[in-house]
Amino acid sequence: MSALGALIRRDIRIALRVGGGALIGVLFFLTVVVLMPFALGPDLALLGRLGPAILWLGALLASLLTLDRLFMADHDDGSLDVILMSRTPLELACAAKALAHWLAAGVPLIVATPVLGMLLNLDGASTAAVALTLLAGTPALTFTGMIGAALAVTLQRGGLLLAVLVLPLSIPVLIFGVAASNAAIAGPLSFGTPFSILCALSLASLVIGPFAAAASLRHGLD
């Protein structure tokens, strides 16, 4: 356990230092959401209706932006070799790295949501609903994205590949994330149904992601 704790602490520390990925994701999220009202015009009702979808799209793209370096950085400097030779199972090491990425790059997005909600004419309750769905759904984005990040390691310049591989996997998360947010804001569906499916998607990806990523890393040894 101390090994995994050390890995999580190291990755968070690197992400928060100069040149790390944590702030880049939040800044991108901020940019996308701030630009939307200018593009859509000053129709407050329209902004309120589209708000949850805009926040979810912003969060999805922001989390993809920093994900491709998840394993690539460790591969490039040789750390991955040492991680492979450690006594920690590779699956757990992958899960720890994804958790660290979510803590450093995913949680700041959720924290920024209330501020950005104001720009999109969302009231307090609606913003809280979107933040709650993001809290439940962003782990799924990170843990499915991890599979693409592991595949990208074996192929040079796999950055675009990551987007192509990961986007189809993240579409269900996007659908149910936005559906749950809209259900909470406007109805008529109950909030519980899409939210439960969103949680299920996250839990399934927590299990499948580490195994798929570890298998891909092992297969791509070179």
Partner 1 sequence: MRLSGRGLRCVRGGREVFSGLEFHAAAGEALAVVGPNGAGKTSLLRLIAGLLAMDGGSIDLDGGDAELTLAEQAHYLGHRDAMKPALSVTENLTFWAEFLGGIPADPAECLAAVGLSHAALLPAAYLSAGQRRRLSIARLLAVRRPIWLLDEPTSALDAASQRIFAGLMTAHLAGGGLIVAATHAPLGIPARELRIGGES
Degrees, nearest 5: CA angle 153-28-54: 110
**Number of other CB atoms surrounding residue 117 within 10 Å:** 23
Q: Does 39 bind partner 1 (CB under 8 A)?
A: no
Question: How many residues in the shown chain lie near partner 1 by CB under 8 A?
Answer: 27
Nearer to partner 1, 79 or 196 (CB): 79
Binding flags for partner 1, 88-107, as an x/- string (CB under 8 A): x-------------------
Give me the DSSP letters along 76-92.
HTTHHHHHHTSSS-HHH
Binder of partner 1 out of 41, 42, 78, 188 (CB under 8 A): 78
Alpha helices in the chain (DSSP H): 2-16, 22-40, 44-67, 69-76, 79-84, 90-101, 107-119, 124-154, 159-185, 192-219
Q: Does 85 bind partner 1 (CB under 8 A)?
A: yes
Q: Does 13 bind partner 1 (CB under 8 A)?
A: yes
Q: Does 43 bind partner 1 (CB under 8 A)?
A: no
201 touches 173 (CB < 8 A): yes
Q: Does 222 bind partner 1 (CB under 8 A)?
A: yes
Question: Which residues lie near partner 1 (CB under 8 A)?
Answer: 2-3, 5-7, 9-10, 13-14, 17-20, 76-79, 81-88, 221-222
